[in-house]
């Protein structure tokens, strides 16, 4: 048992022991290296297949090639596609010689008609192939005679529940459905969840949600999220998503070892000139006490839809309860004083 057990904030050496589990089972987690993610979504498919997670609509969002959008009750692994234009040097839009005003519209129409026959000169462009940043087997700029890199890149990240050291979803659950496992992960017990939804706004990452659907949908109305394949861990197996990842972007193991591996990878990227690379969720001193699922990012967290400085939402609960108790005592004293004063 840790020396300062049951804290709601700050570093925690052994979350399983703090939850009452005996023994010295190492904490398990994920390290997701987004620099080698190819966006194949094998992790999403493997997660759904193994855990029996229903489909989430097969909807085309219209904003990206990503069709799942975000983590939710029916999306426990989500591969984000961030299409990111980057201005690298001077760029010519190709419309400098076109007239303005009404005549400009006519000129564009003529240029478009000519382009259909293969003549793109009036558009100010040519027929040279342009890379849109899709993953390839060649280095960026290798196919350009001058070695120029594309002004467009894709960032891909397989997001998942963070299995926080201090998990607000677990703190606010009134039924004990959410619990800390012997592996240090946070899991929902379907047969205990009453669907109250208290955990949903408590999560600083927007991970957990109540599943919607008709009566035939599995666990409809209940809170659902990644379990880090709790059943597979108990059998000594690797979680399905990490097992299916073809590039080892998703790595599974002991959290302490993964933090060392993440730090080494970060140093290697910095030495290679990728100065914007950074770790997310790997610091035990952050607002959630460090995550069980950490990430290596190639841009700021906000670009990936992650909060830049997450804080466990139950951090201030003790102070809030003390203030509420003080307010209640003050109101009670005022009521008693008013009652006694009215009798005089």
Which class is domain 15-86+154-304? alpha beta
Question: Is this model's pTM higher than 0.85 or not?
Answer: no
What's the rounded Cα separation, in Å, for the pair 61 and 302? 20
208 burial (CB, 10 Å; 0-12 / 13-18 / 19+) is buried
Our measurement of the distance from residue 76's CA atom to the centroid of its chain's CA atoms, rounded to an integer in Å, reads 10
What's the token pair of residue 208? Answer: 């957990």
Q: Do residues 34 and 157 touch, judged by C-beta distance below 8 A? A: yes
Q: What b/e readout covers 108-126, taking b as 16+ CB neighbours within 10 angstroms?
A: eeebeeeeeeeebebeeee
Parallel, antiparallel or unpaired: strands 278-280 and 250-254? unpaired
What's the rounded Cα separation, in Å, for the pair 189 and 52? 15
pLDDT at res. 343: 59
Residue 303 DSSP code: G
Centre a 10 Å sphere on the Cβ of residue 179 and count the other Cβ atoms it contains. 16
- 3-class state of residue 118 by DSSP: coil
252 in the Ramachandran plot: left (φ > 0), alpha (ψ -120 to 50) or beta?
beta
pLDDT at res. 135: 54
Q: Domain boundaries in the chain?
A: 15-86+154-304
94 burial (CB, 10 Å; 0-12 / 13-18 / 19+) is middle
Q: What end-to-end distance do the CA atoms of the chain give, in Å?
A: 58
pLDDT at res. 78: 95
What's the rounded Cα separation, in Å, for the pair 133 and 128? 15
Within 8 A by CB and 6+ apart from 146, the residues are none
pLDDT in tens, the chain (344 residues): 333 444 666 667 788 888 889 888 899 999 999 999 999 999 999 999 999 999 887 777 777 778 888 999 999 999 999 888 765 444 444 444 444 444 444 555 555 555 555 554 544 555 555 555 555 556 556 666 666 666 678 899 999 999 999 999 999 999 999 999 999 999 999 999 999 999 999 999 999 999 998 888 999 999 999 999 999 999 999 999 999 999 999 999 999 999 999 999 999 999 998 889 999 999 999 999 999 999 999 999 999 999 999 999 887 666 666 777 778 888 888 777 777 766 55
Phi then psi for residue 5, to 5 deg, are -70, 165
Residue 123 DSSP code: G
What's the rounded Cα separation, in Å, for the pair 277 and 304? 13
């Amino acid at each position: 048992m840790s020396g300062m057990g049951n804290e709601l904030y700050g570093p925690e050496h052994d979350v399983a022991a703090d939850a009452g589990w005996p023994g010295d089972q190492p904490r398990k987690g994920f390290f997701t290296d987004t620099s080698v993610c190819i966006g194949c979504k094998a992790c999403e498919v493997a997660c759904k297949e193994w855990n029996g997670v229903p489909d989430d609509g097969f909807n085309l969002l219209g904003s990206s090639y990503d069709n799942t959008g975000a983590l939710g009750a029916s999306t426990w692994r989500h591969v984000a596609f961030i299409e990111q234009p980057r201005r690298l040097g001077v760029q010519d839009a190709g419309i400098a010689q076109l007239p303005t005003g009404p005549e400009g519209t006519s000129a564009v129409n003529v240029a478009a008609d000519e382009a259909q026959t293969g003549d793109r000169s009036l558009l100010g462009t040519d027929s040279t192939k342009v890379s849109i940043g899709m993953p390839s087997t060649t280095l960026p700029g290798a196919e350009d005679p001058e070695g120029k890199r594309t002004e467009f890149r894709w960032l891909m990240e397989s997001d998942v529940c963070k299995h926080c050291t201090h998990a607000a979803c677990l703190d606010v659950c009134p039924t004990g459905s959410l619990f800390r496992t012997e592996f240090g992960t946070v899991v929902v017990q379907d047969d205990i969840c009453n669907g109250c939804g208290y955990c949903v706004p408590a999560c600083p990452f927007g991970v957990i949600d109540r599943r919607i659907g008709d009566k035939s949908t599995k666990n409809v109305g209940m809170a659902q999220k990644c379990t880090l394949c709790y059943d597979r861990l108990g059998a000594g197996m690797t979680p399905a998503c990490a097992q299916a990842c073809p590039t080892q972007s998703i790595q599974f193991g002991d959290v302490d070892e993964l933090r060392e591996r993440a730090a080494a990878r970060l140093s290697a990227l910095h030495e290679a000139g990728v100065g914007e690379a950074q770790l997310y969720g790997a610091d035990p001193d952050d607002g959630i006490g460090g995550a069980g699922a950490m990430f290596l990012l190639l841009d700021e967290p906000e670009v990936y839809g992650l909060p830049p400085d997450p804080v466990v939402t139950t951090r201030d609960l003790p102070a809030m309860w003390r203030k509420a108790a003080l307010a209640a005592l003050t109101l009670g004293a005022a009521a008693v004083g008013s009652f006694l004063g009215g009798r005089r």
